[in-house]
Amino acid sequence: MIVEDLNLFLANLNVFYRKLQNYHWNIKGEDFFNVHAKLEEFYDDINEQVDEIAEHILIIDGQPLGTMNDYLEIAQIKEAQNEKKDSRSIFETILKDYCILVENATKVKEDADNEKKYATSALMDEYLLDYGKKVWMIRQVLMK
Ligand SMILES: [Fe+2]
């Protein structure tokens, strides 16, 4: 069901937003300035997507989940801890998280196509392009 798929996606986006800002605060190491700024870019993008996905659920007559309890109950992305973290371990973690978002958007698109909800399907294309680019860039960062 598309609404359930979208609410799972929304839950992951909300947890990921908090996680990215946590890392923005707790990044340590000599590349602090670059990574601190990059993480802010990443969570700003996610924040816009939170609003867009919630409103899209309303557009297709669903009810978006709106509480932290709801999100934490179903999210596949796990929260960060309250601790300093170096950039490599941050990028390793968020690479996996972006791959979860790719899976979420792919599932929404497949179900939307099956139900002939083509606007929802088209919207997912933007997300898949965005996440695909970020996955590529983060992989380059991690390359030795
Ligand atoms: Fe900040």
Ligand 1 centroid–CA 15 distance in Å is: 17
Ligand 1 centroid–CA 25 distance in Å is: 7
Please report, for the domain that includes residue 64, its CATH number: 1.20.1260.10
Q: Tell me how far CA of residue 7 lies from CA of 33, 62, 90, 129, in angstroms.
A: 34, 9, 26, 20
Confidence (pTM): 0.97
Ligand 1 centroid–CA 124 distance in Å is: 29
Ligand 1 centroid–CA 24 distance in Å is: 7
Interatomic CA distance for residues 24 and 36, integer angstroms: 5
Residue 87: domain span:
2-142
What total of structural domains would you count in the chain? 1
Q: What is the pLDDT of residue 96?
A: 98
Tens digits of residue pLDDT in 59-112: 999 999 999 999 999 999 999 999 999 999 999 999 999 999 999 999 999 999
pLDDT-above-90 percentage for the chain: 99
Ligand 1 centroid–CA 1 distance in Å is: 37
